[in-house]
A and B are shown apart, each in its own frame.
Chain A
Amino acid sequence: DTEVTQTPKHLVMGMTNKKSLKCEQHMGHRAMYWYKQKAKKPPELMFVYSYEKLSINESVPSRFSPECPNSSLLNLHLHALQPEDSALYLCASSPQTSSLYNEQFFGPGTRLTVL
């Protein structure tokens, strides 16, 4: 299994809702990432988990809350989002983070719309 899966594919939520995005990989990778991508822009790194511990938080607002329950699973909990948070949210994984051989495998993304 060489893929990263993400659910849901699409999500529409109001500003008062609480929702979660899910990401899963079964490649034995020990690093997992959340990226945010706006239209016509490159992905922007949000969070990095290494060995199930949060390693990097790129100054992301607290309305985004990541969670890594185990080495295969990564969640992104959403609460009180703003319309400008509407974007494609991409999950990625890589064998490790402690090396520059950092080939990342991306999931298909969740298209999030905040009303």
Chain B
Amino acid sequence: AQSVTQPDIHITVSEGASLELRCNYSYGATPYLFWYVQSPGQGLQLLLKYFSGDTLVQGIKGFEAEFKRSQSSFNLRKPSVHWSDAAEYFCAVASNSGYALNFGKGTSLLVTP
């Protein structure tokens, strides 16, 4: 079954520093991958998605992600983090059934002054 793993439970970065959140997928064929962000007590907002084509995907809020088949990864990046980026970040992969999204366990981002 398709699954994703987020190796980092917590990440702390200084405001203005660069960010990379890791996501590894487990799927033989081309996976359909997503990054969502969730602020405390809020719903999930889609940052970006990868279906096919260009492996560098641009998203909202200055985020980008790169699909690397050789490393089975879909890491999320941002060149300069803002305090408002502090949130929970979920990587997800579409299931074969087309119904469900299989989420990673999430990475909690803390931004320090």
Contact = CB atoms under 8 A, between A and B. Distances in A.
B44 A43 contact: yes
Interface in B85-113: 90, 94, 96-101, 103-106, 108
Chain B: number of interface residues, binned into ranges: 20 to 34
A67 B36 CA distance: 27
Select the residue from A92, A100, A108 with max chain B CB neighbours within 10 A.
A100
Interface in A6-56: 6, 31, 40-43, 45, 48, 50, 55-56
Secondary structure type dominating chain B contacts? loop
A105 B46 contact: yes
Given A90-B44, A111-B41, A102 B94 contact: yes
Contacts of B105: 41-42
A59 interface: no
A97 B98 contact: yes
A48 B100 contact: yes
Interface of A: 4, 6, 31, 40-43, 45, 48, 50, 55-56, 88, 90, 92, 97-109, 111
